[in-house]
Chains A and B, each alone.
Chain A
Amino acid sequence: MQEECLLKLRGIGKRFPGVRALHNVDFTLRKGEIHALMGENGAGKSTLIKILTGVYQMDEGSVEVDGKAVNIHSPQDAQNNGISTVYQEITLCPNLTVAENMFIGREGGAWVNQKEYRKRADEQLQNLNIPARSSQQLGSCSLAVQQMVAIARAVDMQCKVLILDEPTSSLDDKEVNMLFSLMRDLKKKGVGIIFVTHFLEQVYEVSDRITVLRNGQLVGEYPTSELPQVQLVAKMMGKTLDELSALEDTGSRVEATGEVFYKAEGLSSEETNPFDFSIRKGEVNGLTGLLGSGRSESVRAIFGADKVTAGKVNINGKEAKISKPIDAMKNGIGYLAEDRKRDGIIADLSVRENIILALQVMNGFFKPISRSESEAFADEYIKALKIKTASTETPVGSLSGGNQQKVILARWLLTHPDYLILDEPTRGIDVGTKLEIQKLVLQLAKDGVSVTFISSEVEEMLRTCSRLIVMRDRHIVGELKGNDLNQAQVMKTIAGGEAE
């Protein structure tokens, strides 16, 4: 193994208003190495990468490239130091040719000597075994090839450090293999690659070394061969295996025995693989798995939020067709979306308007809820959920995250759903509110409401769910109930077969 250091980050720190995004993080990249950067959401991966590429300025720490200290103040600086990034979203121009894309914006532009550039582009493409011609329009290539062209551009710019940020998320298996062989080629040529992904198996397939971040801090750097998958998961989640086993099974979760309320067979949307799923009346079940495992996409398919492509759905024993959210709502399903800002709150509208929104939509266009009625509803739920707001007319955007979440909960509770889907209802909110929400979920279940609960905090799910469905890489890989409901077992199932 070559031990020549290509990139050395020491004691990196970065603050945003009110948040410490990175604290004292070290990272080392060697020549000819594929180094996976791992961590759950909010771990600090993207902040670190943005510091490396000059998008953010670090507050403390040092960066060395090839043993020389450098300052990276802009993306241009990063390029000059041989650091290139290929993002998940292609940032090239689809309506220019491959050659133009490889040379645009560099050394006086691509227009100086078209012929020479084309020749050089073809050589580079051949060199890297990329199936594209320099004269081809970039838009006519597959996404994978476009990505590879972006990489070729980086290589042609003599990049020493190549950052691949979620490069495989929109590729199919064959394309992933193509990309991996290109990565291995580059590795042989001495390029250091930082590989960011949330597909665990890909990490094990291609990377030499893994650095794990959690909560903006370094957990550790490990050779891939020495870190079993289950260990990796534990480190990402911040638990040691022993700790996991030691945790006692808390609470007494009785398996629900009521009638099946919702049942799906072979359900799939544009974002999921076909899956089976069911929930009983009064049951709380959970969907777990790492970010990107497909848990959110699955519930979106249940609610009709994404385009449903196949599957049979039964509600209360009767066949139902759910192709858009309103269908689900009319069947008594409510859905609190994962991204509160993007899919939840209507920020400029008042607390009152946000609370009545779903009910209003269900009531229909010609039956508006009167002002006094809506105020009564708002007051009721502000009291019941202890929402901290100046008045019913305060714009919901000005509330704290936890209170915003309660407003959205109130919105769905007001529709008196039979089945409530909560995707990450406790993310980014304070501990007190978290507990309130968990209690609420259990209370709802007692009242006969079915609840599907998704959380990246396993403890929370263990406290509330009587059945856990585990997903990995967009497939359901296990179902845990009864005595299997403990941290260690969950971790093992999330990580997959080769545990221990």
Chain B
Amino acid sequence: MKDKTVNLKGGLGQLTIPIIAVALLVIFNLIRDPGFFSISITHNNYGNAVLAGNLISIINGASELAILAIGMTLVTAATKGQDISVGAAAAIAGSVFVKVLKSGAEISGGTVILAFICSCCVAMIFGAFNGTLVAVFNIQPMIATLILYTCGRSIAYWINGGATPTVTSPIINAIGSFAPGIPIPMPVIIVIIVTILFKLLFHFTSLELLTQSVGINQSAARLNGINTTFIKLLSFILLGVCVSVAGIIGVSRLGLINHETLLLDVEMDAILAVAIGGNSLGGGKFKISGSIIGAYVIQMLTITLYAMKVSSTDVKAYKAIVIVLLVVIGSPVVKERFAKLMKQRKKLAKGGEAA
């Protein structure tokens, strides 16, 4: 509780930038189109009453990104580097998911759970592979994960052999879209579940403190008895779980796996989400809530641009501009300058009063 009061006094701290970004986007959209955020209830083609509207599209569409951003935050915090293979790894995880589903005659709840477990295990193994390169062999994370980034989608291709295998099942549709009787998109609910699971993990283990210690000062962390190798490895394995969940959502949305396009380029967005969330890409202190908001900022930006009918080839360029602005504003240099400016203004004001 104390923490919160302190934080409020000094502004929102780390979350200032992402929240300002959200606010700006909301205001911009409201001016552009007052009905932009209106939510309506419609009946989808499976007869369920569901929520619809841009807001739902944003929150729903950012699900994979938000989940990946959570894992990426941990890896960033512990290893001072990023995993650029998450997109490729998600293609593998998704392919495994489809492979297991298709190996049975019928898709039942049991086979889906089995497929999830298999996919999760495979993703964790690949995470452990990356983690070993980073934690044991001390290889720069970006370079270590370059390996899987390069060959991951080929591996995904081998798993199913075909170009775009499809799976059709009401269960899969429920995972990727809406479950009967629940008007909120399932991916959104999955994000909430994953977030809660991570919060519980932080509550029932000392992971948060240990990860931050390793990221801020590895040498000191080691001298305080922390197994730094284990912490780094663990962060990659947890990211593996996130990768698997994101991959499965991606596959379930359409009931199809295209190993070439599933979550393509998502690694850059995930890293950006971490950065926009006010987390230092140089590791150390982190807030997963920041990264999740960061993911929604990116998605809101995309949807806004689509709504403005900006050509999707140009969307990336516009996104880049906005993101550069956000990251620069959030950089220590600008923060410092800004703080100085405020101080000077205060001084001037005081001087004025005295006169």
Binding site for B on A (CB under 8 A): 303, 305, 324-326, 328-329, 335, 337, 342-349, 353, 356-358, 360-369, 375, 391-393, 411
Contact = CB atoms under 8 A, between A and B. Distances in A.
A246 B24 CA distance: 74
A343 B219 contact: yes
Contacts of A360: 206, 209-210
B223 interface: yes
B210 A347 contact: no
B204 A366 contact: yes
B220 A342 contact: yes
Contacts of B224: 325, 329, 357-358, 361, 411
B206 A346 contact: no
B281 to A, nearest CB: 14
B25 interface: no
Given A349-B212, A361-B226, A343 B220 contact: yes
B353 interface: no
Contact of B3 (A325, A328, A393): A393
Contacts of B203: 368
A392 B2 contact: yes
B3 A365 contact: no
Given A342-B217, A349-B213, A411-B224, 10 more contacts: A325-B223, A345-B220, A346-B212, A347-B217, A348-B284, A349-B209, A349-B285, A362-B225, A366-B206, A369-B206
B16 interface: no
B207 interface: yes
A367 B6 CA distance: 26
B223 A368 contact: no
A301 to B, nearest CB: 13
A347 B216 contact: yes
B205 A305 contact: no
Given A305-B223, A358-B224, A368-B203, A345 B217 contact: yes
Interface string B224-244: 111100000000000000000
Contacts of B226: 326, 361
A346 B220 contact: yes
B219 A342 contact: yes
Contacts of B223: 303, 305, 325, 335, 337, 343-344
22 contacts: A303-B223, A324-B225, A325-B223, A325-B225, A326-B227, A343-B220, A343-B223, A346-B217, A346-B220, A349-B213, A353-B209, A353-B213, A356-B209, A357-B224, A361-B206, A362-B225, A365-B207, A365-B210, A366-B206, A368-B206, A368-B209, A375-B2
Contacts of A391: 2, 6
Contacts of B225: 324-326, 328-329, 358, 361-362
Given A361-B225, A393-B6, A366 B205 contact: yes
Contacts of B222: 305, 325
A376 to B, nearest CB: 12
A349 B220 contact: no
B303 interface: no
A65 B227 CA distance: 53
Contacts of B216: 346-349
B7 to A, nearest CB: 9
A358 B226 CA distance: 9
Highest count of chain A CB atoms <10 Å: which of B206, B219, B225: B225
B210 A348 contact: no
B125 interface: no
A341 B327 CA distance: 28
Contacts of A324: 225
B268 interface: no
B227 A368 contact: no
Contacts of A365: 205-207, 210
A482 B306 CA distance: 84
Contact of B221 (A346, A366, A411): A346
Given A337-B223, A362-B225, A346 B213 contact: yes
A297 to B, nearest CB: 14
Highest count of chain B CB atoms <10 Å: which of A335, A346, A347, A358: A346
Highest count of chain A CB atoms <10 Å: which of B203, B209, B285: B209
Pairs A-B, 4 closest by C-beta atoms: A326-B225, A361-B225, A368-B206, A325-B225
B205 A368 contact: yes
Contacts of A367: 206
Nearest to A357: B224
A391 B204 CA distance: 25
A369 B203 CA distance: 10
Contacts of A342: 217, 219-220
Contacts of B2: 375, 391-393
Contacts of A366: 204-206
